[in-house]
Amino acid sequence: MIRKSATGNSSEPVWFKSSYSSGPDGDSCVEVAGARTAVHVRDSKHRTAGPRLTVAPGAWAEFVRAL
């Protein structure tokens, strides 16, 4: 995993992207940020203005387990 540092805003989650990510632009991946009560998911190509999906930690764990 590659850690994406926060932009200086302490309320901004710390995002992680798989080190196995690949694609024509080098950023074809999703990024994940964990928090105590939620897991946030975003498209790495649209970091600042794109939508984010937020799920409960238990739902994320089930999703990852199903892979």
Task: Answer whether residue 3 shows pLDDT above 60.
Answer: no
pLDDT score, position 38: 95
Q: Which position has the token pair 């790495």?
A: 44
Residue range 19-28: average pLDDT? 66
Higher pLDDT, 1 or 24: 24
pLDDT at 45 over 70: yes
Max CA distance (Å), the chain = 35
Q: Decide: 15 and 33 in contact? Cβ < 8 Å.
A: yes
pLDDT score at 9: 60
